[in-house]
Amino acid sequence: MSRLLLLLITSSATLLVFGLWIPLKAVVAQELLEMAWAESQARQTESRPWPWADTWPVAKLSMPELGDSMIVLAGVHGESLAFGPGQMMGAESQRGTVIIAGHRDTHFRPLQYLEPGNELRLQNRDGRWQGYRVQETRIVDSRSEFIDTQNLPVGTLLLVTCYPFESMDAGGPLRYVVEARAEGDANTRLLSQGSSGQIDTVAGL
């Protein structure tokens, strides 16, 4: 009986550790990224959070109504997204369209609570903050819908993650998109600086 109890306790502990590993890694990584971001701002240069990292902080995203903020990394390849949301499009100056993608079960889980009118803020390396207002949230199918960056208003910020948030399917086709507009640019419809035509809706997040 004692062996069975020990086996059950060991199995439960193992499952708990594996279940917490991804969220725990995300939290620890954000602390290291905060330090790298501070160094990037102080030196005004790319600062990798650990020696073997293949990415680096490029911005800081804040969601004031939700009391949440996070460091944004360069690129959206699998390794970078494991540690934080990644910027797949956008310049250092944050002019034109900015697209940031992240995992629904870690950093971008709060996206489901954003509503039209909510404020978003994005800080660049020189310390300046750009304010945005959420315009809408929508669900898209990555198999059939593309983001036409040439048809987006100037000052658009798109946050993209997988959907539904509670799904156990890690490779589903649905995406949750939050569209926000830089304050002051909501009614300006021009070609976004740095646009490159159509891109997919981050298949495989």
At residue 5, does pLDDT exceed 70? no
Q: Residue type for 63, please? A: M
> Each residue of 95-124: pLDDT tens digit?
679 999 999 988 999 999 999 999 999 999
Higher pLDDT, 176 or 149: 176
Whole-number Å distance between alpha carbons of 147 and 3: 57
Domains in the chain, start-ordered, CATH in brackets? 2-200 (2.40.260.10)
Q: Report the predicted TM-score, pTM, of the whole model to 2 decimal places.
A: 0.78
The rounded mean pLDDT for the chain is 80
**Percent above pLDDT 90 for the chain:** 46
Residue 17 has pLDDT above 80, yes or no: no
Q: Is the pLDDT of residue 129 over 80?
A: yes
Higher per-residue confidence, 156 vs 191: 156
